[in-house]
Structure 1
């Protein structure tokens, strides 16, 4: 019987899989004592040709294959079904481990009668650059035995599945969800249910950091995946209420990460608003008490504490304005969009976008020859900016019907406190439209005065809600 099983999902790693497998077959424990379960996640490259060479040479390497790409989480689940030993661990196929890792870890997990062992990891870069310290990285200088995860709040951030060895008593908690960040919930649940955790500072897992790694490019799928992971953590709070503060600390860190992404990367405004809405839908467990607990245990690590505290106080646009645009972090897109309604309303499929250089007076021309049965048009003069706009002319002799400005279309100019300003234009089967307009970005003073009014309105509504709550009886009926 094997002493340890290792599950390795494989997808698009032909550049790295050889070094990964070398670090496993050269373990001091002996490859004959290690069951290596390779899960071919329908990889389109030559990774499996390399794996098959190793499998031919080492009988303890077995291969199972997914008919279609299922992702890392489902691949781990499939690999777990093939495990025959009492202990299991995981390795990402582009990473590698030190030679004594498994022998040293098995000796310690058995002698200490622990059912979960965690060990150190380091970033590895081909270019030799040193990575900054990560809050998700263990920072113990000595070996530690932990009997209750609750007493070590910093463990909540150590959510990777690959630097851990699990005894079979924990196998039932190793159910990875089909989402981008599949490790987080599983890590927390195993930490909670482990009778004893051994932290081993003597061996190292090397986590490869490379420029073409999928985790280096932050897109909306990262935000969607991390908010989905927060949703899973919220479910665990209901399941394990005694660990609410520990789990919420991880949620706070993830929210801080997402706010950093929103500030540091280029986004369209509709993506930013979607991100804020997603965050607001999953952050109901964060309280001031939770934030204080976080700061006591992980001081000086939050970049956007004020943003986290205010996340659910405002609607999405007001929050985005206060959080990002008032802080001069805006990356305004001088991009105008013309949406064409051909009977199916305004949608992204029937749209013309034009990048332009913003000036005192702007003239944009849109070719509409490819559109049939035009009913109306929607003109968005800019994305991602609070603005004042005056349309000087729309030819051929077209009429502006309405706008989503604060003052309608009858003023000398339109004042937009939305990040997606728009005009509805009456049009019937025209081949071309030319729009001449003036546009200026609202300055901080103008914005502040506008949002003071909006804040007062929000505060009034909140006060009304509180008064209504006080007047209601136990079953919600007015007294």
Structure 2
């Protein structure tokens, strides 16, 4: 039997959604008899395949390919593509769905226009049905348009997703996905650079489910390392597609900003932060100020654009980069962590602490549950991690602090990245700490170091006898 289009659907841990996904395929206006559905069972451990098998019994055009071991989304797409028998292929993630006219409308447009790639609109929705606003990656078409020169629409290189596109077989050789978390980027850039004509369609929609359990919604160090590796691979395209590299750089700049955003706005161990910056610095090739201005002109509303940081990545060492951009300039909207360490007679350890995540304000009031500690000898309070701060505890007796000034001053100045107070022990099971906090600015820090430098210079200019009051 011949089909109009092949739809590749990798399946892994989606028993909650696979029925809705397959329903949108079998009910396509093109007719399920005209659609080759290739299910790739990626060694799913749940009951997804029980549901898939029910559809297979009813619809002969659905076939199943089974991976002996879990390969991940990208490699599973490669497996499915190798079994496609039609002139057109598309990918559908197994927790998403599409409008019921998508395949019929798209195939007609591709044939009528002679295009070898079609991109249709998409929406992001959450599990409670909330539709999220469009982002830099889903610039939906307001009208149908055929592109013969993609430099007329440079923003297209940010449409990186594999699944809102239909590919002609002339492009199949570029559909070689990798194992990493960001498997779409290199492939899509290559496809866009090699497509002869591209159809931007407003008449059908892909519905992308923002699943809170998805790996892309739970950012870990590995995500940032993988995204940095993707950036490095994108830079390598300069020699392959020099005519389009200024447009590919738009995607690179966007991803550099993504890595920096997660680096700055989340709490990571310093060793991980250095690893992330090292990996990013290794990945980033030449980015000029003109490149960044070009990006900013195309995407003026892009949030949190790190122009200076992108330029300094190429010149500063990793530790200086972190010091300058994360710790000296930390913003009050950064989510941070305060910690109370409890000494039960064995000193302060990581096993004897209670932490609270909060968004630092000028005044903060946090509660710590100490009910599990039976013998409290002393207490230490760390108001924030990894920041130069000014702080003051308003409701408790402070015994000591690793501040640069006196604990009796109006507020304490901390130029260590591990600020902490020793506070008087409390017999209550809940310890409430009311404290003021401000992050030190560059100017604050510069004044402090200037004062210290002046003192050192003054001492160096005196004789040893006068310095130490020798007779």
Task: State the TM bucket, normalised to the shorter chain.
Answer: 0.7 to 0.9
With normalisation by structure 1, the TM-score equals 0.72
Q: Residue 237 and residue 354 in structure 1: after superposition, are their counterparts in 2 closer, same or farther (change >3 A)?
A: farther
CA distance in 2, matches of 1:451, 1:442: 16
Where does residue 41 of structure 1 map in the other structure? 42
Cα deviation digits, residues 193-245 of structure 1 (max 9, x gap): 00000011100010012333332211112101211111221121221111111
Where does residue 83 of structure 2 map in the other structure? 82
Cα deviation digits, residues 152-174 of structure 1 (max 9, x gap): 11101100010000000001000
* 1:448 aligns with one of 446, 451, 456: 446
* 2:317 aligns with one of 307, 315, 318: 315
Is the 1:268–1:383 Cα contact (8 Å) retained in structure 2? no
Superposed displacement of residue 355, structure 1: 3.8
CA distance in 1, matches of 2:292, 2:439: 34
Where does residue 290 of structure 2 map in the other structure? 289
Is the 2:117–2:197 Cα contact (8 Å) retained in structure 1? yes
CA distance in 1, matches of 2:110, 2:144: 12
Is the 1:269–1:383 Cα contact (8 Å) retained in structure 2? no
CA distance in 2, matches of 1:185, 1:168: 18
Is the 1:11–1:42 Cα contact (8 Å) retained in structure 2? yes
CA distance in 1, matches of 2:414, 2:123: 49
Q: Residue 332 and residue 321 in structure 1: after superposition, are their counterparts in 2 closer, same or farther (change >3 A)?
A: farther
Is the 2:177–2:187 Cα contact (8 Å) retained in structure 1? yes
Cα deviation digits, residues 54-99 of structure 1 (max 9, x gap): 1111111010111111101110011111000010000000000011
Secondary structure class of the residue paired with 2:203: strand
1:126-137 equivalence runs, <5 A: 126-137=127-138
1:56-455 equivalence runs, <5 A: 56-303=57-304, 304-329=306-331, 331=336, 355=353, 384-385=386-387, 443-444=440-441, 447-448=445-446
Number of aligned positions between the proteins:
376
Where does residue 405 of structure 1 map in the other structure? none
Superposed displacement of residue 248, structure 1: 0.8
Secondary structure class of the residue paired with 1:233: helix
Superposed displacement of residue 449, structure 1: 5.3
Is the 2:77–2:177 Cα contact (8 Å) retained in structure 1? yes
Q: Which runs of 5+ in 2 are unaligned?
A: 342-348, 356-383, 390-412, 420-436, 452-471
Secondary structure class of the residue paired with 1:67: coil
Is the 2:330–2:387 Cα contact (8 Å) retained in structure 1? no
CA distance in 2, matches of 1:276, 1:418: 21
Where does residue 22 of structure 1 map in the other structure? 23
Superposed displacement of residue 451, structure 1: 7.8
Cα deviation digits, residues 126-166 of structure 1 (max 9, x gap): 32323132100023210010012222111011000100000
Q: Residue 420 and residue 286 in structure 1: after superposition, are their counterparts in 2 closer, same or farther (change >3 A)?
A: farther
CA distance in 1, matches of 2:86, 2:224: 37
Taking only aligned residues, the RMSD between alpha carbons, in angstroms, comes to 3.0
CA distance in 1, matches of 2:184, 2:211: 20
Where does residue 344 of structure 2 map in the other structure? none
Is the 1:269–1:420 Cα contact (8 Å) retained in structure 2? no
Superposed displacement of residue 291, structure 1: 0.9
Q: Residue 233 and residue 420 in structure 1: after superposition, are their counterparts in 2 closer, same or farther (change >3 A)?
A: farther
Q: Residue 67 and residue 417 in structure 1: after superposition, are their counterparts in 2 closer, same or farther (change >3 A)?
A: farther
Q: Residue 40 and residue 147 in structure 1: after superposition, are their counterparts in 2 closer, same or farther (change >3 A)?
A: same
Is the 1:115–1:196 Cα contact (8 Å) retained in structure 2? yes
Cα deviation digits, residues 168-197 of structure 1 (max 9, x gap): 000100000111110011111000000000
With normalisation by structure 2, the TM-score equals 0.73
CA distance in 2, matches of 1:278, 1:450: 33
Superposed displacement of residue 296, structure 1: 2.4
Is the 1:253–1:302 Cα contact (8 Å) retained in structure 2? no
